Structure 1
Amino acid sequence: MYEDTERCVRAVQSKDARFDGWFFTAVLTTRIYCRPSCPVVAPKPHNMRFYPTAAAAQQAGFRACKRCRPDASPGSPAWDHRADVVARAMRLIGDGVVDREGVPGLAARLGYSPRQIQRHLQAEVGTGPLALARAQRAQTARLLIETTDLALTDVAFAAGFGSVRSFNDVVREVFALSPRELRARVRRGAATAGSGTVALRLPFRRPLCPDNLFGHLVATAVPGVEEWRDGAYRRTLRLPHGPGVVALRPAEDHVACELRLSDFRDLGAAIARCRRLLDLDADPIAVDEHLASDPALADEVAAAPGRRVPRSVDAEELAIRAVLGQQVSTAAAATHAGRLAALAGETVADPDGGLTHLFPSAETLSALPDDVFRLPAARIAALRGLAAALAARTIDLGPGADRAAAREQLQALPGLGPWTVEVIAMRGLGDPDAFLPGDLGVRLAAERLGLPASPAALVRRAEAWRPWRAYAVQYLWATGDHAVNRLPVTAA
């Protein structure tokens, strides 16, 4: 969108928050870049320049606006939903791969050379992987400066900087304030989180319907791994440098997020995974306008606009749970998963609630004897085949996964039918067009709405909903009376 100058100018002049994260506006006279909804007086059009990412604006010599904080705007739906190499690279960078493995590691995950990745990103987003990772480090540093009591030296290394000098230089360049000045500003207006925790807001594009989003996560929660407590969905996190716990609470214009991390270097990855879990980078206006154009869905969209697809913080975990949930109730699937977590999951300390374990890794599950699963032989075989493939890394379900290739690899495994593969694609891989025509809830909803109930006929009818069929599934499920559609109201 950033190349459509006339449209961008109109969005800035109207201060349209729907386009926050879609592009960034840089002002030649002030050398500042803003989000489209910045409340300051709109600059003259001939003084505006537009960039697809905050990193590209920074690379061009602009600094972040202190008022609208464009570095903290919702992410672009383009990188969240697209399946091409640039989108896959952006998701991996957001997950911290460049900081942990460098550009060669990013390129290896995508099957390209470092030079090819540099060229693709430069052409599409106006800057390369190092500048994108640098911008993310700056934002992580700002969060740690403003929300924790960590010493600034510790903040520098936790945010991924190689030296205190580079930390100071980048923060001053990006925010026009030193780290000490940033901390002094926030101390004048707000208290920081306790030791070991980070409290922050996760922005999103309105509207957002929390009912099915949090309702689904809580209704399918694995005991010991997930819970609903004091109005928040809480769960354990398996992160690159150690375990963590997150509490996510829906609010009017943001999701309140409190992270307890064993290593602050995981902050960026944890935020990316929480945003992915709640589908916070979706564009609900575009999705709902498209789906509401179908009379069969128009009333459902109007009744509760802004439905998101409840996803996962760990696609491998989601895949294992999808196999456990084959042909059983939601409650039975959660019971099976909870028993495995208690038996084989790594223990986690949770002083604020009842979380006890990480969900077991694929490597751990593949080594367990058959008798611990208490499942039919065919499902044990399917579970073992999936766990072995994930442990051997012959199937990639991570943020940078090729969705088409992953689908083919999953379909080739014994015991994984179309329903399981599409659930993994929808909730694990984040495919916005994944569809479940054979799902019982979808078929019952189709009957209620006068749509074809047979899978083949429903697939043909659902062509009109592409490329947002995963969101259509959420509206179809919402026609039924099930706990996945209701926001919990009581404490765990």
Structure 2
Amino acid sequence: MGVVTFTTLDFEQCYRAVSTRDARFDGQFFTAVKTTGIYCRPSCPAITPKQTNVSFLPTAAAAQQAGYRACRRCLPDAAPGSPLWNTRADLAARAMRLIGDGVIERGGVPALAATLGYSQRQLTRVLTTELGAGPLALARAHRAHTARLLIQTTNMPMSDIAFAAGFASIRQFNDTVREVFVVSPSVMRAEAQRAGTKQRVVPATNGSLTLRLPYRAPIDRAWLEWFLAAHVAPGVELWDNNTYTRNLRTPHGHTTARLSFQRDHVRAELAITDMRDLAPTVARLRHLLDLDADPVGIDEAIGATENPGDRPTLPPGIRVPGCLDGPELLLRTMIGQQISVAAAATHTARLVAALGERVEGPLPLLFPTPEVVAERGTEVLTGPARRVRSIVRAAEALASGDLVLHQGKPAAELRDDLLALEGVGPWTADYVTMRLLADPDVLLGTDLVVRQGATLLGVDLADTTRWAPWRSYLSMHLWKAALAARNTPTESIAAAAAIAKAGISV
């Protein structure tokens, strides 16, 4: 049984997943139980309901819209996000990515519709048909999840939680929590404290709090740690003591995030200048680490296993790193074209040191905005004049709005927009598309390291149709194989961290 699609929720497949309490499908669909009026995640430990008493819905919002309340035992809204929003590229999936990033909280449904290029009426009709709820209901479910998380895992005042979760008023916050969870916010907190919830209550003062980011196992931790460590830009990022620290610009200010991998989750320590940015920050961090992927389904499709019998040897749980900021991703990718990862880190560090915005906190800088790079990039960037000119012109296009990068763009449109830029070739366009959109099916076949990995593993890059639609994950496997042939994973991470801390080239 592979990934469940929201257009084909097969009753027998879904019921089998519920009967076996298969946690792999948590977040992919929700079980609504008619006799109790609640909805659960597939792995809920409660007694499996009779087939005649259940229906399956694609989103928590659809369940809430149908009058069901969230199970207080399995916390269905706390499941990892659905992998469908990345594996599908249709309007509904692209809208869900933007809703998760808080577009409706910032600009309402008109902003979401305008970003996607549809009328509000058409957007509402499509989402209601595909997902069982319109954009406002989907955003409301997202706010309810954020509220529950903060109520149960922090000591933040309820008024601050309402603000952070995106509610317009305390009354709206209270009404929504009562309707979705059938208890008041204060009762929910008291129950969590009495139950000794796994998500320990932590102090949350001055915009600082600690959260657990769940994921579906398995996860190739060594690969993500290498990737983060190797691409660190000093001043904005730091890899130290198995922890990744990063400044990121958010809609209302900036956030410093410290991420570390735990046994069954990623620990995220956040310092947020404006709590309205909490939900977008969490969504972006999950996107960066590809935490909503379905690794079992992907591994089955491409042949990854703990005990492979045939080549290629593909260890389980690999992720495709996403990004935290589209314009930054493009500019950093262009800086790194045709040079080593270490050299790219050095050039990026120089740009950040000269043009980055200074902030308070453990890291002193934010990555410079496209406007600043467009204005002063030629003063700082070094290398071939043509490459410098291309980077500056890309920054100008971003600053003027001629080029817009966001997760709601169709992949083909984004790739065409990127290829229209001077100095951007197919590799850069594919790499940015893969990471910005979490596109699962981009083969980086022209990448030198990927080609080396293909040779090592005996993969024919001229015929990769058997790997579709997971060729982005194949690219990561090939990349990892080539790098592992040079150093052990531990050595690679240590070397990358040392280079990043020193800010030097090798």
Query: Given the two structures, how large is their TM-score scaled by the length of structure 1?
Result: 0.93
- Residue of structure 1 equivalent to 2:114: 108
Give distance in 1, aligned partners of 2:216 and 2:359: 33
Is the contact between residue 171 and residue 178 of structure 1 (CA under 8 Å) also seen in structure 2?
yes
Aligned equivalents of 2:406, 2:376: Cα separation in 1: 24
User: Does residue 1:394 correspond to 2:416, yes or no?
Assistant: no
| Alpha-carbon distance change, 317 to 421 in structure 1, aligned in 2, over 3 angstroms | same
Please tell me the residue identity of whatever aligns with 1:367: E
Q: Contact between 2:154 and 2:209, CA under 8 Å: does it hold in 1? A: yes
CA contact (8 A) 1:219 1:484 kept: no
Report the equivalent of 1:347: 358
Return closer, same or farther for 1:128/1:300 CA change in 2, 3 Å cut-off: farther
Offset, 1:293: 8.1
Deviation for aligned residue 1:266? 0.6
Residues 34, 65 of structure 1: 8 Å contact kept = yes
- The letter of the residue matching 2:364 is T
| Equivalent position SS for 2:203 | coil
CA 1:181/1:483 → structure 2, altered by over 3 Å: closer, same or farther?
A: farther
Equivalent of residue 175 in structure 2, options 147, 169, 192: 169
Q: Distance in 2 between matches of 1:423 and 1:317?
A: 13
What is the rounded CA distance, in whole Å, between the counterparts of 1:335 and 1:484 in structure 2?
23
Q: Which amino acid aligns with 1:462?
A: T
Count of residue correspondences: 481
Match in the other structure for 2:473: 471
Counterpart-to-counterpart distance in 1, 2:180 and 2:459: 53
Alignment of 1:405 with 2:413, yes or no, is: yes
Deviation of 1:413 after TM superposition, in Å, equals: 1.1
Q: Find the aligned partners of 1:139 and 1:380 in 2 and give their Cα distance.
A: 44
**Distance across 2 between alignment mates of 1:233 and 1:357:** 15
Matched-pair contact (CA < 8 Å) for 1:246–1:257? yes
Contact 1:204 1:253 in 2 (8 A): yes
Aligned match of 2:437: 429
Please state how far the C-alpha of 1:129 moved relative to its aligned partner: 0.4
Match of 1:367 in 2: 375
Match of 2:12 in 1: 6
- In structure 2, the partner of 1:284 is 295
* Equivalent residues of 1:301, 1:475 under 8 A apart: no
Amino acid at match of 2:102: G
Q: 1:201 aligns with which of 198, 208, 212?
A: 212
Residues 293 and 177 from structure 1, CA distance in 2 versus in 1: closer, same or farther, beyond 3 angstroms?
closer
| Residues 224 and 289 in structure 2, CA contact (< 8 A), matched pair in contact too | yes
Structure 1 counterpart of 2:23, which letter?
A
Partner residue, 1:444? 452
> Is 2:159 aligned against 1:153?
yes
Q: Could you list the per-position Cα deviations for residues 153-200 of structure 1 after superposition, in whole angstroms to 9, with x for gaps in the alignment?
A: 222122111111111111111112211112223334333234122211
Letter in 2 for 1:449: L
Structure 2 residue 429 is the aligned partner of structure 1 residue 418: no
- Give the conservation status (yes or no) of the 8 Å contact 1:144–1:198: no
Give the aligned partner of residue 316 of structure 2: 305
CA contact (8 A) 1:291 1:301 kept: no
Distance in 1 (alpha carbons) for counterparts of 2:242 and 2:119: 46
* 1:80-110 C-alpha deviation (Å, 9 max, x unpaired): 2211111110100000001111001100001
**Do the aligned partners of 1:206 and 1:253 also contact (CA within 8 Å) in 2?**
yes
Matched residue of 1:61: which SS?
coil
Which of residues 57, 70, 76 is equivalent to 1:64? 70
- For 2:101, the equivalent position in structure 1 comes to 95
1:357 aligns with 2:368: no
How far residue 292 of structure 1 moved from its aligned partner, in angstroms, is: 1.0
Corresponding residue for 1:338?
349
- The change in CA–CA distance for 1:426 and 1:203 in structure 2 (over 3 A counts) is same
Q: Deviations over 1:40-86 (max 9, x none)?
A: 11111111111100111111111111111100101111112211111
Cα RMSD between the aligned structures?
A: 2.0
Q: Is the 8 A contact 1:147 1:198 kept in 2?
A: no
Task: Look up the equivalent residue of 1:410 and give its one-letter code.
Answer: L
Is contact 1:218-1:226 (8 Å) kept? no
| Displacement after TM superposition at 1:319 (Å) | 0.8
- The reply to whether residue 385 of structure 1 matches residue 397 of structure 2 is no
CA distance in 2, matches of 1:152, 1:301: 53
Q: Does the C-alpha gap of structure 1 residues 300 and 260 become closer, same or farther in structure 2, counting only changes over 3 Å?
A: farther
- Distance across 1 between alignment mates of 2:158 and 2:487: 45
In the TM superposition, what is the alpha-carbon distance from 1:237 to its structure 2 partner?
Answer: 1.3
**Identical counterparts, % of pairs:** 51
Say which SS state the counterpart of residue 246 (structure 1) adopts.
strand
String of CA shifts for 1:197-232, please: whole Å, max 9, x gaps: 221111111111111112111111110111123322
Q: Which whole-Å CA distance do the structure 1 matches of 2:148 and 2:312 have between them? A: 37
Match of 1:119 among 111, 121, 125: 125
Q: What displacement does 1:450 show? A: 3.0
> What is the Cα deviation at residue 143 of structure 1?
2.2
Q: 1:396 to 1:96 in 2, by over 3 A?
A: same
1:98-128 Cα distance to aligned partner (Å, 9 max, x none): 1111001100001100000000100100000
Q: Does the Cα contact within 8 Å between 2:244 and 2:258 map onto a contact in 1?
A: yes
The question of 1:43 aligning with 2:49 is answered yes
Contact 1:212/1:307, CA 8 A, preserved across alignment: yes
Give the equivalent residue in structure 2 for 1:192: 202
Determine if contact 1:276/1:313 at 8 Å carries over to the other structure.
Answer: yes
Corresponding residue number in structure 2 for 1:455: none
Query: How far apart, CA to CA, are the structure 2 residues paired with 1:217 and 1:478?
Result: 13
Equivalent residue for 1:268? 279
SS in 1 for 2:464: helix
One-letter amino acid of the counterpart of residue 412, structure 2: A
The DSSP-based 3-state class of the residue aligned with 1:308 is: coil
Q: SS state of the match for residue 200, structure 1? A: strand
Matches of 1:145 and 1:178, distance apart in 2: 10
Q: CA deviation at 1:300?
A: 7.1
Residues in 2 aligned to 1:300 and 1:205: alpha-carbon distance in whole angstroms: 25
CA distance in 1, matches of 2:331, 2:488: 20
Residue 298 of structure 1, CA deviation: 7.0
- Structure 2 CA distance, aligned partners of 1:429 and 1:50? 28
CA deviations 1:400-448 (Å, max 9, x no partner) are 1221111001111111111111111122222111121111111111222
